[in-house]
Amino acid sequence: MKLVYCSNCDAVSALANFEREVCQTCERPAARVDVPRPWQHWAGIGVIVAGSAILLLMYIPEIQFRVLVLLPFLGFGLFLSTWGLRVSKDKALELGRARVKERKA
């Protein structure tokens, strides 16, 4: 995933790595902004990995119980990575705006 900033809409778009660097709103070329992944992103991955590891270690033959055990981990992991994405987008917006200001000055 990568983040791009559009100075036309003053908005950040999250794109897949193979996508062209254009704004998702107006489809004009947008500048790529590299933001380090926040801890929430890694914590989210960690929670999902931990949930899967627990499932592997525990012997639960019933598939319904496996899903029940994994669901809270998946939910919490998703919550954390969504939070991380929001933090990254805010940071990218800040950096994108600063860059535009620099260009104008």
Binding site for Zn ion (CB under 5 A): 6, 8-9, 23, 25-26
Nearer to Zn ion, 8 or 82 (CB): 8
Q: How far apart are alpha carbons 2 and 29 in whole angstroms?
A: 14
104 CB-side CA count, 13 A: 7
Give whichever of 26 and 49 is closer to Zn ion, judged by the CB atom.
26
CB of 71 vs Zn ion, minimal distance in Å = 37
Q: How far is the CB of 26 from Zn ion (least distance, A)?
A: 3
In the complex, the smallest distance separating the C-beta of residue 48 from Zn ion, rounded to whole angstroms, is 33
Task: Please give the Cα distance from 55 to 58 (Å, whole number).
Answer: 5
- Residue whose Cβ sits closest to Zn ion: 23
CB 2 within 8 A of CB 35: no
Using the minimum distance from each CB to Zn ion, give the nearer residue, 37 or 97. 97
**Residue at 45: amino acid letter:** I
